[in-house]
Structure 1
Amino acid sequence: MLLAASPPATARTSGEIRIGVLDFLGSEATVGEWSPLLHHLEAALPGRTVRLEQLDHAGMRAAVAAGKLDFIVTNPGHYVELEAELGVSRILTLDAGGGRTPARALGSAVIVRADRSDLQSLIELRGKRVAIVGREGFGGFQLAWGVLADIGVSPDEDFAELQSVGFPMSTVLDAVASGRADAGIVRACLLEGLGEAGRAFRVLAPRNEPGFPCATSTPLYPDWPLASLRHTPPELARQVAIALLSMDADSDHPTWAVPADYQSVHDLFRKLEIGPYAYLREPTLMVMAQRYWPWVAGFALVLLGWILYTVRVEYLVQLRTAALSAALAERDRLESAARATQEQADHLARLSVLGELSGTLAHELNQPLATIANYANSIIRRADNGRLTDAALREATGEIAAQAERASGILSRIRAFARKRTAAREAVAPVELATEAIALFRGMMARAPAITFADTLPPDSRIEVDRLQIQQVLLNLLKNGYDASRDQPPERQALEIRLAATGDRLEIIVRDRGSGIDEATRARLFEPFFTTKDDGLGLGLSICRSIAEAHGGRLFAGTPADGIGTCFTLSLPGLKHDPAHDRT
């Protein structure tokens, strides 16, 4: 068994397993706490050497990014950040026992000196000096921050001073005991572990948490996870998980259980707008629209009323003008009436088309604009974090330019429709249509679901379509699938796209595993302005079917053979094979 304080620069040796552990108690305490895990792994995996890397938050992030570790053990908040940023994946959750369960194990204790009778509630911390290990501390700050936010107390605005004293967590106790701070925030159960020394402090506003053996000022959250990295071999992760699950539950050291649900941590971070949800603090157009949608909807209704009023007035003017012309000249009555009627019909037709195009334009431009906003925000975040490289900047600005060109193409197509021009079609590979739509969809979503792609077509397949229109259909179907399944368990959130051929027809199947569609809803699914979404316009599927029919194809919905979710099939004629364009 090997112990180290930081990731070494040398290459790993054969058979070595490196486990990074967040060191919040100090070097000696960390070694004592995790030594049973190392001993057990080396005994269960003969021929393997297990190396423990004791790291702080920044050191662990750097080691994970550099691929210097195989597994990490850290607090739930730090795990959620690394999961979103670097793709780590939990395989087990700590089971500390002693009245604590993997799902209810961590809390924060806001502590004061036992002789401070002037402090009895959390709201009395306004104007006081509070010591924390650091803003990244989960049990040492973030859990208490969430409770303070619920009662309207802001650590940055309401505390006289927020002192970040760093690890180990006992430094917070020293600050409170010496009077440098009026209160401190530590992990629950830390005082109980100090024995007699812990009686010099008391927990402020303790909660009643049945079965939990320690005083806590906050609700309880899941315990620390053991997570594998992207490059960790799946077989090694499986062996380590099996070995740790076999640890003796009756021993005096912590054991491990299957992964707990960390949704409560995501909810906390979303409320505080930190970690993966820090982008919510930025006043983007999408966030402003979500926050103030009633005002936007009201403005849209006023605008619609004004348009209808204008149409009505102008219609009446046309009628009265025609009637006046007929009264002034009987000789020209029939000719004038015919001309007035024709002008009126043409005008109403243009207004009708304009009314449809306004809804279509808003619906179609939303996706490229959302993608542009997403990449622009990514550039800002990377610049703020000092991680903006030339390659990342070039990729992001290239994608922004591509989406701007795509939006311009949509507007050109709208103008062409208004002028009765045909859309531009070209021979393209179906696999290009699908992969480009998947890439655009992932670029629009902060946390896009997994998408399984299957191509059963011959490699030289080509079809003549309007590329932008077909991509619009696929993006709409992917977004609908995401909306239908995002409330499902993780294993049912993945989407599927499959390319198949039936004779000379191309079939693009998009499937989700959501709650499905009943027969009554399916009968009206493609009607204009019919929607099951609270914020939907009801134009998406209607527009998609129109695009399919304009290509001589069909768009229809069905239920998969296993009865789970919904399948949308876009069937297009004219599938051809061109060996000159063979994909190799």
Structure 2
Amino acid sequence: MRPKKFLLAVFIVLAATCVCAAKDSSPVFRVSVMQSDEHLFHESIIENLEGALEKTLGAKTKVEISTDSPETIKTKLKEGRVELVFCNSVLYRALLPYGVRDLATVHSDWNPNPNRADGAALIVKRDSEISSLNQRINLKEPKVAMEKNRHCDVLYYILGEFETLKLDSEKFKTFLLDNTGKSSELVKEVVQGKADAALLPACFLEQHVVEYPSLYREIKVLNPLRSSELPCTVSTTLYPNWSVLITPNISMKQATDIAATLLTQPKSSDGAWWSVSTQFDGVDKLLKNLKVEQYSYLREWTLRRFFEEYFPFIILFGAFLTGVILYSCIANRLIKIRTRQLSQSLLRLSKYKKEFELVRRDNEIYHRMGIVSHISSLISHELRQPLNTISCYSQGLLMRLEKGPMEQGQISDIVYQIHKKTQGADEIIKKVRDFAKFGSRPVATELNQSVRKAIDVFLLSSQCPSVVEFKPSEAAWIKIDPFELELLVLNLLRNANEALVKTANARIEVNVSINKETSEVILTVKDNGPKLSEEALIKIKRGFETTKKNGTGMGLVIVSEIVSNAKGRIDFVPSKDRGLLVKITFPLDTHEQ
């Protein structure tokens, strides 16, 4: 019995080990939060962030959130051990060389503008001799308290003000005490005289004074600045609020899903939510002026060192520059003479260019007028239908009036129909006139609707013995002049119909299809007319030649030009048995699609 019990125990241990291994194998999503104790909304917004990540990533993914110093965050980024970073705007811009990008920024009723929501306050005792940043702070050696690992926010903010005031920011660093306490403890050190000043994050003082009202009478803020965008007193310029950053370790889909969840996440318990910051140029300027982080290379060179190391080259460059100046003075006179000659040549060239432009414009107008004169026969087909309708209504109205009086409503209906058809005819004439005046004007056009309209016009305005079948596709948008598109289809239908005059069971097939792989729209017009010879096909492709007795070949030239203007291509494919297939390919307008 003992061996059986032993084997059973071993089996149970192995099963438990497999279960634990399966649990531990679940994916882990690592979030690094910049260390900042007692920061406004800090705890509640991290809880809000954690909830959003759990909602987006699902229960199978474990979210690990760690609080790290700026240097630890940089190390994790180098080693690829973090997917998401939550930090202030200064650290964000300092991490740009590591491939991070901002995703969302903290927003709240307390700081309604996320681009101006963070800063620092330098506090002293109300009876302190230090009354401003530029008065006594550099004339003595005060003891300034600052929370540990806050160089990437409050310290840089206040050093930026020193640079703006042309003060020695490097000397100010020597006044800093090695503090490890929280911001509330730093306030106590100032009140008790253990420190002459203390650096605090924006809005912490207002929050702290609510709990300890007596502090208002004991401390003051140096260089106090107030803004309508932040109800706090600070000593520095305001910068963007804390942001969530994605790292190169995260996929684009995860980044998109997390951004969508954050921006729709409800407010946190302290009334903070997520928005977007757009103005980080002030932070970049701050880091560059301080010559820190990615701009630390600016500290490596000074003007004095440059002159000491490159003095011989500077002398040679000076001599070379002197020679260049002398040479330029000698050549200046020759240049002036040559410039005068070139100016005269340019004037003549400008005159010839204007004359050439006038000739080119006249040729373009003549070309358009030639096309308009050719398409007048096609437009007559369009005008025939409204004119016939107007004629029928007019004759019907006269005949009805001869029989006796009519009701006012009946007369109004007939007159309205006549007016409507008159407007249709006027619109056709206006399209031709605009085309002759302005030429092609491509716009986003739905091909199926335009082809259907052209087919309807063709059937109503021509003696068409052929059966026209139209097979549309899904919505297919292209860039083309609608009038040119209608003209193109009418030309193809007219040519196909004329080829079917002596054909029994004449049929024209019009198809529209979309090739999604190449992002192209294909229009085909096929007839079952007589089989074309190789010689006839060559004449059609060449243009200005035709197989018709009274034709000029201009119609297919117009079609080719319209296709070329729309950046498409046209192919003529003879069928094996009968007829011709005209295949026109247009680029798909993906924006409209």
Report the TM-score, using the length of structure 1 for normalisation: 0.45
Rg larger in structure: 2
Report the TM-score, using the length of structure 2 for normalisation: 0.45
